[in-house]
């Protein structure tokens, strides 16, 4: 339990990859602040379960990642009630699939806000706390789409490329302060986010569900396997170790070989 005494904020952790990060950090003893939307009873069940796993406190913040003031309040609440944050994982994200001429402006704005700008807001407020302790770990869930593009995902690809650039920039700024800043770039991970985009891809490309899974999603992934949330979370835990202090400004693929092609 090498994270005993440390505090982590994981955005978008009521589901999918974020929930796996929260569980993996709690398994190493971290106090965790979870965040995201969903059924209140389910979220409370997860929050309580995290306390059972870590033996430390777990809190839930309903902060909307499109709202800079709410993000500032989330970081402050974490600092006041749990200490830190020592670890921040920028993970909240949404997707929308449409051709550029049909792409709804409100979807563009929401994706840029949630998938990119929220990471700016959190770092802006959390870095001073990390600098004060001379230790910190900032990890952002980018995507294979931070390296390469796919059609009909203009906002997502733009946001994830932006997140990769933000990661490099902040890594350089805090490099002498004991803080590392990295991105993890998964390929296709089987989560609600992937499941939800199947109907739109079926519609925009005129394909069946099986064709979307095998010929569109796993077509890009040489292993022909979805990445698991546990595999992604295990890398984040490693990045929190002292042995990972030399890894900063990196964008690490966990994509079954997708971006090696």
Q: How far apart are CA 37 and CA 62, in angstroms?
A: 7
- Which of 7, 54, 91, 154: binder of ligand NAD (CB under 6 A)? 91
Element (H, E) at 113: none
CB of 96 to ligand NAD, least distance (A): 11
Tell me: does residue 186 bind ligand NAD (CB under 6 A): yes
- Which of 52, 192, 206, 246: binder of ligand NAD (CB under 6 A)? 192
Tell me: does residue 17 bind ligand NAD (CB under 6 A): yes
- Which of 12, 84, 85, 256: binder of ligand NAD (CB under 6 A)? 12
Output the six-digit token pair for 141. 């869930």
Tell me: does residue 162 bind ligand NAD (CB under 6 A): no
Q: Is 21 a catalytic residue?
A: no
Beta strands in the chain (DSSP E): 7-10, 31-35, 58-61, 87-90, 136-141, 179-186, 251-254
Q: How many CA atoms lie within 13 A of 96 on its CB side?
A: 20
Q: What is the DSSP string of 42-80?
A: HHHHHHHHHHHHHSS-EEEE---TT-HHHHHHHHHHHHH
Tell me: does residue 92 bind ligand NAD (CB under 6 A): yes
Which range touches ligand NAD (CB under 6 A), out of 39-47, 59-67, 98-106, 173-181?
Answer: 59-67
Cβ nearer to ligand NAD, comparing 90 with 177: 90
N- to C-terminal Cα separation, the chain: 38
Q: How far apart are CA 14 and CA 46, in angstroms?
A: 8
Cβ nearer to ligand NAD, comparing 7 with 251: 251
- Which of 189, 213, 239, 240: binder of ligand NAD (CB under 6 A)? 189
CB of 3 to ligand NAD, least distance (A): 21
Q: How far apart are CA 91 and CA 107, in angstroms?
A: 18
Q: How far apart are CA 24 and CA 20, in angstroms?
A: 6
Tell me: does residue 188 bind ligand NAD (CB under 6 A): yes
- Which of 22, 65, 174, 236: binder of ligand NAD (CB under 6 A)? 65
The answer to whether 104 and 98 are in contact (CB under 8 A) is yes
Which range touches ligand NAD (CB under 6 A), out of 44-52, 187-195, 202-210, 233-241?
Answer: 187-195
- Which of 32, 54, 59, 64: binder of ligand NAD (CB under 6 A)? 64
Q: How far apart are CA 130 and CA 117, in angstroms?
A: 20
Output the six-digit token pair for 1. 């339990």
Tell me: does residue 191 bind ligand NAD (CB under 6 A): yes
Cβ nearer to ligand NAD, comparing 35 with 180: 35
Q: How far apart are CA 200 and CA 212, in angstroms?
A: 10
Q: Contact positions toward ligand NAD, by CB under 6 A?
A: 11-18, 35-38, 64-66, 91-94, 114-115, 141, 143, 186, 188-189, 191-194
Which residues are annotated as catalytic?
Answer: 156
């Amino acid at each position: 339990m090498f994270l005993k005494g440390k505090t982590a904020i994981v955005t978008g952790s009521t589901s999918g990859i974020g929930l796996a990060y929260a569980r993996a950090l709690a398994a190493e003893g971290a106090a965790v602040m979870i965040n995201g939307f969903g059924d209140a009873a389910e979220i409370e069940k997860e929050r309580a379960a995290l306390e059972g796993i870590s033996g430390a406190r777990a809190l839930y913040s309903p902060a909307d990642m499109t709202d800079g003031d709410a993000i500032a309040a989330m970081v402050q609440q974490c600092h006041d009630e749990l200490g830190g944050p020592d670890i921040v994982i920028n993970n909240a994200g949404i997707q929308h699939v449409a051709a550029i001429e049909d792409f709804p402006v409100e979807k563009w704005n929401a994706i840029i806000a949630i998938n990119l700008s929220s990471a700016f807001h959190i770092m802006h407020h959390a870095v001073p706390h990390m600098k004060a302790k001379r230790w910190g770990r900032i990890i952002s869930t980018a995507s294979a789409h931070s390296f390469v593009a796919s059609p009909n995902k203009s906002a997502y690809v733009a946001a994830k490329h932006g997140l990769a650039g933000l990661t490099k920039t902040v890594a350089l700024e805090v490099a002498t302060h004991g803080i590392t800043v990295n991105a993890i770039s998964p390929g296709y991970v089987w989560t609600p986010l992937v499941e939800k985009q199947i109907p739109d891809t079926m519609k925009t490309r005129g394909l069946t569900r099986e064709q979307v899974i095998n010929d569109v999603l796993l077509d890009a992934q040489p292993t022909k396997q979805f990445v698991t949330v546990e595999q992604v979370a295990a890398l984040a835990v490693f990045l929190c170790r002292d042995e990972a202090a030399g890894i900063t400004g990196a964008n690490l693929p966990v994509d079954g070989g997708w971006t090696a092609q």
